[in-house]
Amino acid sequence: MIVFHGGFLPESFASQPVQQALIQSFCQNHNKAIECLLEATATQPEPSMFIILGKIQMKAKKTEDAEISFKKAMKLLKTSAKTLPNTFEAAEIYYLTGLCYMEQKSLLQACDAFSMAIRLHSSYPDAFYQRGLCRMQLGQAKCIQDFSQALALCPSHFQAYMSRAAYYGSKGRYSKAILNCNEAIKILPNSVQAYFYRGTLKCQNKAFKAAIEDLSKTIDLNKICILAYYNRAVSYHQIKDFREALKDYGILLLLELNKEINFKVLINRGLLYMELDDYANACELQAAYIQTLSVSTCQSTKLLHEPEEAVRSFDQVLKLDPVSVDAYVGRGNSYMEKGDEAGCKRAQKDFLRAVHLNPKCVKARICLGYNLQALGKLQRAWSQFTVAICIDPKCHAAYAGRASVCLQSDETFAAFQDTNTALKVDVSLNQPVLPIWIRSQNKLLNESAVINRAITNTLLNNIEEAKEDFEKAVCLCPFSAAVYFNRANFYNGLKQYELAEKDISTALSIQPNDALMYKFRAGIRGKLGFNKEAVEDYKQAITIQEQIDSM
């Protein structure tokens, strides 16, 4: 076997660009491989060349470039009638394009691409499987049909069995999920993934002894599978085998855990010691639990979904540590989760205490800013976000918050500037963990920043820029009714009623009980001359509003 080091190849390969590119790609020199093929396609533009180029670009994580290459291949394959032939090559191009869309999180477009691949080549198991994955992520029940068809075409499709198991497991149909794991294990007898998931399903199905067997097999195959140790510890705990449970909890604490798992291990081991009447160890673990308690950890537990219980927990923390900034911020967030005015006012007091204890705490400033905005105190909210920016000029959340306040105050240009800055800031660096109530208002901050900029560009009459921002917002957040509603409003203002009707219909498919959106669609349909449909929408809007008023 000949091995070429440092990316150098013999001169004899220079006349064979495809072979040269494949070898460079095999050596992980993807950029050199791409250069070879770009030169080759310039002189010899054939579909097969563009397909190979696209595949290498996908390996190099250049999915947008790969998508362009596959589209060029499609264009070359089309006949004089401008239709693609029913060949596997044509189907593969659509399949690969679908993978690019999935990488870009454009699930609807990916689903369409896989459907085209299936239409051109009906015996394509991977296309059925990938379309099934798209549909499962889109929440469509017919994903199961795609997985089943993939298995009918290829009975040894391991991932299709595992995906079908995941679907049934998510619906609480544990027995059917376990049966699919059984089939997957027949295909790959030493699969860590299959044994772990089957063990977890058995645990959820309360078959704890059977779960322990599968989880033990998982650990035999992978000695550092943290979740297998955790689930096995829980299973031992449930069958009262405290010694084995303590052993697994102990192993977990020796491993490098993330805060969420560490938090749960400390709680569970503390509860176990209490069952054993070993209160000394239980108290020691309670102290460790309190030490690890923080806002970000609470968001990972059920506490924040039960605000009253969360408030009581933070009360206990504050009794032990009256100057804990995180505890005040955490309790304030729990009050905000209640969603009423009294909760907002109590939260404000906690956020103010946190700021008083640590004036440079960006997280407390941002939470206080959103709290003041929720209470309609826009100037004070703006001040808090501004102080947060002064403390940390690279805080994405602070710019996004101030932009939303500016937009609410009709300061469109200032909102535009802050939104642009928010989008330029690297979100991955030192950003504060924000509570759920803020994220529910602002979805994810990067997405809300794009939406805010799109709305601002609309108000400033920057039509092309607004279009680009709305497109980006849809890519970032394809299941947000607010994105489609705002874009429908944008198209309505441009008198592009067909596009407006399409977007508002998509918004209603995501959020079907919104009277305002039905009323808006009725107006658009009236302008399009769809009078019967417009009347139906008005009736639906009235029905929904009457239901809300009667509650």
Q: Which residue has the higher pLDDT, 255 or 524?
A: 524
Yes or no: say if 333 and 343 are a contact pair by the CB < 8 Å rule.
no
pLDDT band at 21 (very low <50, low <70, confident <90, very high): low
Predicted confidence band at 426 (pLDDT cuts at 50, 70, 90)?
Answer: very low
Give me the percent of the chain exceeding a pLDDT of 90.
Answer: 19
Give pLDDT tens digits for 353-367: 999 999 989 888 999
- pLDDT at res. 296: 40
Q: Is the pLDDT of residue 549 over 90?
A: no
Q: Quick one: pLDDT at residue 188?
A: 92
State the pLDDT at residue 25. 63
* pLDDT for residue 8 is more than 90: no
Q: What is the DSSP letter of 4?
A: -
Name which residue leads in pLDDT, 64 or 165: 165
Alpha-carbon gap, residue 334 to 317, rounded angstroms: 14
Q: What pLDDT is recorded for position 211?
A: 92
Please give the mean pLDDT across all residues of the chain.
Answer: 78
131 vs 299 pLDDT, higher one: 131
Tokens 């039905």 identify what position?
518
pLDDT value at residue 445: 45
Sign of the alpha-carbon dihedral angle for 88, 89, 94, 100: positive
Residue 186 has pLDDT above 90, yes or no: yes
> Who wins on pLDDT, 488 or 12?
488
* pLDDT tops 70 at residue 128: yes
Say yes or no to pLDDT of 3 above 70: no
Backbone phi, psi, residue 96, to 5°: -65, -35
pLDDT at residue 33 is higher than 50 = yes
Tell me, what's the pLDDT at 71?
82
Can you tell me whether residue 492 is helix, strand or coil?
helix
Q: What are the tens digits of pLDDT across the range 277-297?
A: 665 555 555 555 444 444 444
Q: Supply the pLDDT for residue 309.
A: 73
Looking at residue 181, its pLDDT comes to: 93
C-alpha to C-alpha distance for 111 and 143, rounded to whole angstroms: 11
Q: Are 442 and 448 in contact (CB under 8 A)?
A: yes
- Greater pLDDT, 264 or 433: 264
Strand (E) or helix (H) holding 226? helix 226-238
pLDDT tens per residue across span 130-149: 999 999 888 888 899 999 99
Of the listed ranges 1-5, 206-210, 213-217, the one predicted with least confidence: 1-5
What's residue 147's pLDDT? Answer: 92
pLDDT at 443 over 50: no
Q: Where is average pLDDT lowest: 228-232, 388-392, 505-509, 545-549?
A: 545-549
What pLDDT band is residue 433 in, cutting at 50, 70 and 90? very low
According to the model, what pLDDT value does residue 38 have?
75
Could you tell me the domains of the chain?
156-256 (1.25.40.10), 496-551 (1.25.40.10)
Q: Residue 68 burial by CB count (10 A; 0-12/13-18/19+): exposed, middle or buried?
A: middle
Higher local confidence (pLDDT), 125 or 263? 125
Determine the pLDDT at residue 300. 36
Tell me the pLDDT tens digit for each residue of 228-241.
888 998 898 889 88
- The pLDDT score that the predictor gives to residue 311 is 79
pLDDT at 527 over 60: yes
Q: Is the pLDDT of residue 437 over 50?
A: no
| Residues belonging to the chain | 551
Report the distance separating Cα 103 and Cα 97, nearest Å: 10
The pLDDT score that the predictor gives to residue 65 is: 82
Decide if 302 contacts 436 (C-beta within 8 A): no
pLDDT score of 303: 41
Distances (CA, A) of 541 to 187, 320, 519: 53, 52, 6
Q: How many CB atoms lie within 10 A of CB 380?
A: 15
- pLDDT reading at 106 higher than 50: yes
pLDDT band with cut points at 50, 70 and 90 for residue 49: confident
Using 50, 70 and 90 to split pLDDT, how confident is the model at 90? confident
Residues of 446-485 as b/e, b for ≥16 C-beta within 10 angstroms?
Answer: bbbbbbbbbbbbbeeebeebbbebbebbbbbbbbbbbbbb
pLDDT for 148 equals 93
Confidence of residue 430 (pLDDT cuts 50, 70, 90): very low
